[in-house]
Amino acid sequence: MGNHALLLPWQRKSFLSRQRSGEPGLDALSATLQVTGFYDKPSGSIQYVVADTATRRCAIIDPVLDFDEKSGATATKNADTLLDFIKDERLVVEWILDTHPHADHLSAAHYLRQKTGAPKAIGDRIVDVQKLWKVIYNWPDFPADGSQWDKLFADGDTFSVGNIPARVLFSPGHTLASITYVIGDAAFVHDTLFMPDSGSARADFPGGSAARLWRSIQDILALPDETRLFVGHDYRAGGREARWESTVAEQKAGNIHLVAAHTEADFVALREARDKTLPMPRLILHALQVNMNGGRLPEPEANGRRYLKFPLDGLR
C-alpha cells in the first residue's frame, strides 16, 4: 500500500500531483517539519514555532503576551524568546496563527505582527465570538467583523508553511471559533484535547458546547493514527514534567475522557459534570477584550495609560 493511502483527500491530491511533477511527496515534506514548543508556566500554555527546515520558513502558533493581573504589568518575554529562536535558526516568519480567542492568556499576535510583518490569522468564526462578547463588554461600536486579522480561515481552507501543505479544521466546542491547524503530519489542537492523562478541554464558556466538542474530537481522531497532536495547554498531571505531544493512536487508546465516555451522551454528561466544578479562568475578563481584538491592547487614554474594562457579574 502506498504512503498516500494514509492521507486525507486534500493531502492525497497534493501528494499525487507532486509525484507526477517529480516533486517530493508528503512524507518527504514532513521529514523537514520542525516543531518546537515553548512552555509558559504561569498559564500552562504551549506556544509553537513550526518550521520547514528545507525552506527556513515558519509559522508561530498561539503566542503568549506576558501579563500580571496583580500589578497590571505587561511584558514581551515569551514573544521575544520566540523571536530569538527564530533568529538563531535563521527562519523567516510566514504566519502568526491563533487557534481561537484565548481565555487564560493575552495573545502576543499583534506584537509579533509589528516585529515581523507576517500576517495574523484565525478562524473566520471569530466574528461569532466578537458579536457575543461585545455585548458582554457593552461595546456597541466594536467592529465584530474579524478585520483585526489579516486572514480569516474557513473550514477546509489550505495554505502552506514553506513547502509543507497545511489545512484548517473547524473544531468548535471549547469556543465558537476554535480551529485545528493540520500542517504536514502534525495537528495543533489547542483547547480541544489535552494530553491523554488530562482528557479534554472545558466547554462551559459563553458559546461553548460539550456536544459540539465531542464531534470536534471525533473529527480530529479521524486523522491518520500516526498524526502527531500538539496541545495548547498542559497542567502537569500528577506533578510530572510538562508535555505537549501525542498521536491520534495514543489519544484513542488512553485519553481518560475518551476511555470513560464511549458515546456523545456519556461524554456530554462527563464534561458538563466536570465543568461545574471548575472556576472561571482568572484572566478570562482580562484576556477576551484583548484577544477578540487581534491581540491589540486598549489604546492609551489622555494620561498615556491603558485601561481594561470589567463587566461586573457578567459571567455569574
Answer for the pair 106, 295: CB distance below 8 angstroms, yes or no: yes
Mean pLDDT of 122-151: 96
The answer to whether residue 72 scores a pLDDT higher than 60 is yes
Q: Report which of residues 279 and 10 the model is more confident about.
A: 279
Burial of 301: CB neighbours in 10 Å, binned 0-12, 13-18, 19+:
exposed
pLDDT one-digit tens code per residue, 149-174: 999 999 999 999 999 999 999 999 99
**Sheet of 164-170: strands edge to edge?**
158-161, 164-170, 179-183, 186-190, 228-231, 245-247
CA–chain centroid gap for 143, Å, is: 23
Average pLDDT over residues 246-265: 96
Say yes or no to pLDDT of 65 above 60.
yes
Give the pLDDT score at 31: 81
Which residues lie below 8 Å from residue 286, measured CB to CB, with a gap of 6+? Answer: 67, 69, 106, 308
The whole-chain average pLDDT of the chain stands at 91
Going along the chain from its start, the domains and CATH numbers come out as 20-291 (3.60.15.10)
Q: How confident is residue 25, by pLDDT bands cut at 50, 70 and 90?
A: low
What spatial distance separates the first Cα and last Cα of the chain, rounded to whole Å? 56
Confidence of residue 6 (pLDDT cuts 50, 70, 90): very low
pLDDT at 180 over 60: yes
DSSP codes of every residue in 270-291: HHHHHHTTPPPPTTHHHHHHHH
Q: Which residue has the higher pLDDT, 13 or 38?
A: 38
Sorting pLDDT into bands at 50, 70 and 90, what band is 135?
A: very high
pTM comes to 0.90
**High-pLDDT (> 90) share of the chain, %:** 85
CA distances from 55 to 30, 83, 90 (A): 13, 18, 10
pLDDT recorded at residue 5: 34
What is the reported pLDDT for 91?
A: 98
Consecutive H or E run containing 248: helix 248-254
Band of residue 47 on the pLDDT scale cut at 50, 70, 90: very high
- Mean pLDDT across 259-269: 96
- Read off the pLDDT of residues 203-227 as tens digits, 9 standing for 90 and up: 999 899 999 999 999 999 999 999 9
Looking at residue 27, its pLDDT comes to 67
Return the pLDDT at 217.
Answer: 97
pLDDT at 1 over 60: no
pLDDT tops 80 at residue 64: yes
Check residue 10 and give its pLDDT. 39
Give the residue-averaged pLDDT of 130-158: 96
